[in-house]
Amino acid sequence: MLYQKPKGTRDIYGKELKRIEAVCNAARSFFVRNGYQEIRTPAFEMADLFIRSIGEHTDIVEKENYTFKAGKRVYMLRPEGTASVLRAIIENKIPLPRRFLYIEPMYRKERPQKGRYREFIQIGIELIGEDDPIYDAEMIEQGKRFLESVGASGFTIEVNSIGCPKCRSLYKKALKDFLRAKTNVLCSNCTVRLDKNFLRIFDCKEQKCQEIYDTAPKITDNLCANCTQHYATVKKFLAEFSIEFTENKKLVRGLDYYTRTVFEFKHQLLGARDTILAGGRYDLLMEELGGVNAPALGWAMGVDCVILSLPDEQPPLVQRKRFFIATIGEGLITETVELRNTIQKNDHVCIMGNPKDSVKRQLKKANRLQVDYTILYGEDEAKAKVCSMKDMESGEQKQVALKDFASFVKTI
C-alpha cells in the first residue's frame, strides 16, 4: 500500500456518515431553535491562543497537539472550540450576550481507541455575556434534552463548582496544609500537578492517591461567599428544570479556563472513556484573551461518543427513491438525460447506465446499486414514445408515455 490515511483519521462514508450526519443535523436544528447561531472558525489558529486558554500544563498543550510553522508564525490545529469562538467574538466585536453553536472537527494527537480519533467532530455551544446561575442550569438542561432527543439514554450528570481565583488561592493553602504530611505517598504525577495545576490531582487514577483525596478538604466546601451563593442557585435551578444530577466534589476539569460551575455527562460505556459531554463556566477567559470582561459558559460533546451511547439501530430510512436508466443502444442520450433530470427534479436519485452495455449487464448493475426502479429506454420505446419502468423488487414492468412521465414521477 503506497499511501494510507494518517493514524487516527477515517474515511467516512455509507452508514457511518449517515449516523454522524444524523446527529449533526439534529444538533443544528435543536440548538438553532434554542437561539444558538452557528459559527465556523478556522481549523487552525495561532498556537498561542490555545496555549493561553487551555493552559500550559495540560496534556493537550504539552503533547497532544498538531503544531506547525508556516512562515514566521506558529499555528496549531484546533484541539477544541471555545478559544476560537471567543477569539472570533473579540476580533469581530460581536455584541454580547450571544449564543453560538459549532459543529466542527477537532484535532488531538492521542493514541486512537474505540470512539476516539485524532480528528473528531465536536458539537459545542457557548453562551457569552451571561452570569446568572439560571443559565448554568439551562445549559445543562439543553445538553440533556438534546441527547434524549436523539435517543441517547443511560447517562448520568455530575456537577461541581471549582470557584473563582479568590476561592482557589485560599483553598490551595488549605489543601497543601492537609497534604503536607502525605506528599511522599502521592504518585509522581500528583506531586508535579500539586505545583503546576493543583486541582487536577483529583483526576488521578491511583487508588492510594484517591484514598487520601477522599478525606481531603474539597474546593466545593471552600468557596467564597459569592461562589457559594452562585453554586447553590445553580443547584436550585437544576431542580426546577427537573434535572437529576449528582454532586461530585472531586470533579475538576482538564482545561485551565474553567471557573465556578463544571459538569460532565457520563455513560457507562467502556473503561475510563466515559464522558460524552462536558463543560462549565469560564468567566475570566474573555478578558484573558484580550476582550472585555464578560462571563461565559459552554460545553462540548464528541459526536462519536454520542453515537456510542445510542441504541444500535438502523439509520433512519431515506424517503428518496433510487432510479437507474438503462439506455439500450446509442443515439438516445438526449431523451435519457431528460428522463434523468425529471427524476432528479423530484428529489429522487437517478443514475444512468452505459448504453454500450447489454440490457442484462445494465440491469445487473442497477441491482447492485440497489435501485428501486429501472427505466429501460431503447429503440422500441423510442418509436412508441414511451419508456419501460421496472419495479426492481416485484419485477413488474410497465410502460409510461414520455409526455406523462413528469406527472407520473410526482406520484411515486
- Do the beta carbons of residue 84 and residue 300 sit within 8 Å? no
Q: Where is 277: in which H helix or E strand?
A: strand 273-281
Closer to RNA by Cβ: residue 1 or 70: 1
Residue 174's CB: how many other CB atoms inside 10 A? 15
**Nearest Cα residue to 101 out of 146, 46, 133, 64:** 146
Closer to RNA by Cβ: residue 130 or 264: 264
Closer to RNA by Cβ: residue 131 or 274: 274
Closer to RNA by Cβ: residue 113 or 226: 113
DSSP code at position 56 = T
Nearest approach in angstroms of CB 204 to RNA is 6
Closer to RNA by Cβ: residue 45 or 264: 264
Closer to RNA by Cβ: residue 96 or 349: 349
- Rounded to the nearest angstrom, the gap between the alpha carbon of residue 169 and the centroid of all alpha carbons in its chain is 34
- Do the beta carbons of residue 153 and residue 268 sit within 8 Å? no
SS3 84: helix
Closer to RNA by Cβ: residue 240 or 404: 404
User: What is the C-alpha separation between 259 and 244, in angstroms, rounded?
Assistant: 22
Cβ neighbours of residue 3 closer than 8 Å, sequence gap 6 or more: none
User: What is the C-alpha separation between 282 and 161, in angstroms, rounded?
Assistant: 11
Nearest approach in angstroms of CB 335 to RNA is 13
Q: Which amino acid is at 405?
A: F
Gap between the terminal Cα atoms of the chain:
45
Backbone angles phi, psi at 155, to 5 degrees: -105, 155
Closer to RNA by Cβ: residue 132 or 214: 214
Closer to RNA by Cβ: residue 5 or 33: 5
SS3 409: helix
Give the CA distances from residue 4 to residues 16, 43, 110, 366, in Å, rounded to whole numbers and listed in that order: 19, 22, 18, 31
- Residues near RNA (CB under 7 A): 4-5, 7-8, 58-60, 64, 80, 108, 110-117, 120, 122, 189, 200, 203-205, 253-255, 264, 270-278, 300-302, 304-305, 328, 358-361, 363-364, 366-368, 376, 378-381, 388, 390, 392-395, 397
Residue 234's CB: how many other CB atoms inside 10 A? 25
User: What is the C-alpha separation between 230 and 162, in angstroms, rounded?
Assistant: 11
Q: Return the sign of the alpha-carbon dihedral for residues 251, 166, 61, 78.
A: positive
- Do the beta carbons of residue 133 and residue 237 sit within 8 Å? yes
Closer to RNA by Cβ: residue 59 or 338: 59
Q: Give 359's Cβ-side CA count (13 Å radius).
A: 9
Nearest approach in angstroms of CB 229 to RNA is 26
